[in-house]
Structure 1
């Protein structure tokens, strides 16, 4: 199943199936903005997922700004939503999937969900299509569920360093160029990047209308970045493990399967002052 779904297909699913639609809108500078936006209007039947409270555990230290919640905590979230493994999920946000929609998509895949997609164009595409919007707040029918993360989709500090040392990993950083080069840093206390990383801003995945580029264009661009490397060698990162999921989703949409996530990302990497830091543009030598 391709990870993207269009407005018309989602509208059909809402009318004829038991799809779980999840509103993931969020402004990082305004913690309650997403919930307020959902309250003001959302896709019919959509529940709200908060990046900070449900898709992260901000109490954890040394694992970045948006650490993954424990399996038991995420199990409780999914139980509260009424999700079961046979129920499809569609996530959306108002940032082309880049804030929390792609993060939820990836987390659902991490627990083995196969029927999970992101709305291409997100809230903007739905709203501009003239499709129905509602303000009623759904109360999901809870269903007790217990999930486990697939460790093969994750890369920890030691595995990342070992892969960089042996050049068996291609680390792709989804932050914007100025942040990657260390010219600015609006969120973290240290600017720069992990030495050896390559830069692919997540915004490069989107066309001018806020939807993803065509499958063919995404495939061509990522194949150029990968060179002779296989997709399974790719590890994604960003500032806190959120927008990195956008690049992972784009590769899956392009048919380049098997890349992984370094969830702590830059904010986690710099939690240990002994770790190396790079600045400036990455080298462009053939891989």
Structure 2
């Protein structure tokens, strides 16, 4: 695989294509729709990158709910380790994840694997759309593979995972909290999903779509410059990202890592977890 270190942030379709069939490569299809939880899996059943194994946001990339965990709770280590083993993933594998296009759901899987200690994981830039547009191979048959013999030894790096109390301390200490939701949701003008509108007081809006141009991630230098403008004198460890439920926020973590800015944290419960406690303050309008 692509040298000794492999792919750790993004990979292009034309680079991935020649490696299909490599026994140390696992491709995951993470297509999903918040409007229809079966749409992604149905699309995978119709056509997918050869060998791609499906992972479902609700069943596979989320855990069971606990107080403050939000709509897509972070899974437990043992639970996620069993999921990786069921997909045939071991610490020796290079993993590539894709979704329909913009990387929002694929980034969730990338983030889970990274914080589980698996460095060799990347997102297919442009996703299924970019792959299909190039006329690259597709198949409809379910992939044939053997599950791993033992669960993956997941050990989540808890330094990168924030709950509401830790987010509050982060903000009190001058840290930056970046909200990846669309601007109108951040400002509280609309709220199509959660029961309250607005944002965490002190948060800064940066919609995850700002990381993209024409459905692909912006060049590394452009992302570095944009995030540097937000960070000011902070380094990446001074940043926590959030969104509605801890999914699209991972897009920021991927974009930052691609730009050489590792070390930011994730507020796993995000907005849906924040508003579970009605006593927590809510702001509206621009930051």
TM-score range, shorter chain: over 0.9
CA separation in 2, counterparts of 1:274 and 1:139? 50
Q: How does 1:86-125 map to 2 (within 5 A)?
A: 86-98=92-104, 100-125=105-130
- Local SS of the residue matching 2:83: helix
| Residue of structure 1 in register with 2:165 after alignment | 158
- 2:234 aligns with 229
Separation in 1, partners of 2:19, 2:119: 16
Structure 2 residue aligned with 1:285: none
Give, in whole Å, the separation in 1 of the partners of 2:93 and 2:36. 31
Instruction: Give the TM-score of the pair, scaled to structure 2.
Output: 0.94
**Greater alpha carbon shift after TM alignment, 139-148 vs 265-274:** 139-148
Within-5 A mapping of 1:251-266:
251-266=256-271
Matching residue of 2:176:
170
- Residue 212 of structure 2, aligned match among 206, 218, 232: 206
Q: Tell me the TM-score normalised to structure 1 length.
A: 0.94
1:172 alignment partner, SS class:
strand
Q: 1:278 to 1:161 in 2, by over 3 A?
A: same
Q: 1:43 aligns with which of 31, 45, 49?
A: 49
Partner of 2:90: 84
Task: Provide the rounded CA distance (Å) in 2 between the counterparts of 1:153 and 1:140.
Answer: 32
Q: How far off is 1:2 after superposition? A: 4.3
Contact 1:80 1:140 in 2 (8 A): no
1:134 matched to 2:134? The reply is no
* Residues 8, 120 of structure 2: 8 Å contact kept: no
Counterpart of 2:198? Answer: 192
**1:185-222 CA-partner distances (Å, limit 9, x unpaired):** 000000000001001100011102x1111111111111
How far does the alpha carbon of each residue in 1:230-280 deviate from its partner, in whole angstroms, 9 at most, with x for none?
A: 111000000000000001100111111111101100000000011111110
Corresponding residue to 2:156 among 139, 149, 172: 149
Give 1:238's aligned residue: 243
Count of residues in correspondence between the two structures: 279
Contiguous gaps of at least 5 residues in structure 1: 283-287
2:8/2:119 contact within 8 Å kept: no
2:30–2:99 contact (8 Å) kept in structure 1: yes
- Contact 1:52-1:58 within 8 A present in 2 as well: no
SS in 1 for 2:85: helix
Distance 1:273 1:139 in 2: 48
Runs of 4+ in 1 over 2 A off after TM superposition: 15-18, 57-62
